[in-house]
Amino acid sequence: MTRSGAFIGVLVAAQLGCSAPEPPASPPHREQPSTPAFVGKIWLSTDNDAPPGTLRLFTPAGLLLMDSCGETYRIAQWRAIDDSRIEWTEDSARIEARIVRVTESELQMQLQLVNSVKDESYRAADTAGVCPDMPR
């Protein structure tokens, strides 16, 4: 065998004995939690005892905008506890809410307050609008 033939033989043997490294195993696929249907929409209160213009906006970034025509707005952090419960903090009080019903146009929550339970109902805002004139 010639020198070049021996060299080729060594290369072939080396290739057969040493396979290419395996690509790293990809991490197991984790299902991303789906965004709840109430997130990213402006919800207007339909409760008779709520201040005029009461609204809620749950953002995908975990912020909750709360406002009404007669109050200063509030931005709080919110998070999902599980598939049917969420929580946020208002004035250092933890508010837990159970999502009773959510559709494209309706949101019903039951808030667990310190000493009571409060039901709240909302409809999705479907047009632009402003607060009604407030009596002076």
- State pLDDT tens for residues 114-134: 899 999 999 999 999 999 776
* Rounded distance between C-alpha atoms, residue 123 and residue 115, angstroms: 27
Residue type, 37: A
Determine the pLDDT at residue 103.
97
pLDDT band, very low/low/confident/very high, at 33 (cuts 50, 70, 90)? low
Q: 46 and 105 in contact (C-beta within 8 Å)?
A: no
* Rounded distance between C-alpha atoms, residue 26 and residue 23, angstroms: 9
Q: 109 and 100 in contact (C-beta within 8 Å)?
A: yes
Determine the pLDDT at residue 8.
44
Coil vs helix vs strand at 78: strand
| Residues listed for the chain | 136
